């Protein structure tokens, strides 16, 4: 340690600075190579994500449409069965009657049904109250 001169210290500091600068340049170069190498992969991943999002949206729309048809059909089936029971003079409980009104309201308001169900309902249930 006694033999360290100002010149030796200066050259060691310059060497250390050059070493750190070289490492930084190598890191920057490696980063640019990595970015160039992964850019096409990233673009492809984004395109694939967009395609999948579109397919998912189409599937959701399709499923919702099919569920609406299924729900509407179930309401119609229940209402038709209920109206047949009323016409045949079946003894129906209050719960069954309320359920029929619920199904009719759902069919009319949620599914926007407008068909023979309305005319049949009005004919059979016209004067009857909930």
Residue 21: enclosing H or E segment and its boundaries? helix 6-87
| Per-residue pLDDT, 37 | 80
Q: What's the predicted TM-score (pTM) here?
A: 0.59
Sheet strands (E) in 14-91: none
Cα dihedral sign, 81-130-106-121: positive
Whole-angstrom Cα Rg for the chain:
39
| Per-residue pLDDT, 104 | 93
| Per-residue pLDDT, 34 | 84
The per-residue pLDDT string of the chain (130 residues; one tens digit each, 9 = 90 and over) reads 567 788 888 888 999 999 999 999 999 988 888 888 888 888 888 999 999 999 999 999 999 999 999 999 999 999 999 999 999 988 999 999 999 999 999 999 999 887 889 889 988 887 565 5
Please report, to the nearest 10 degrees, the dihedral formed by the alpha carbons of residues 116, 119, 124, 130 taken in order: 100
């Amino acid at each position: 340690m006694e033999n360290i001169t100002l010149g030796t210290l200066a050259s060691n500091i310059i060497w250390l600075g050059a070493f750190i600068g070289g490492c930084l340049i190598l890191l920057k170069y490696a980063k640019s190579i990595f970015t160039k190498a992964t850019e096409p992969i990233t673009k492809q991943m984004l395109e694939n994500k967009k395609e999948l999002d579109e397919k998912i949206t189409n599937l959701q729309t399709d499923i919702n449409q099919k569920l609406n048809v299924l729900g509407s059909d179930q309401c119609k089936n229940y209402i038709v069965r209920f109206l047949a029971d009323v016409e045949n003079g079946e003894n129906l409980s209050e719960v069954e009657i309320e359920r029929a009104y619920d199904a009719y309201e759902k069919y009319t308001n949620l599914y926007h049904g407008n068909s023979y169900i309305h005319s049949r309902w009005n004919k059979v249930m016209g004067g009857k109250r909930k």
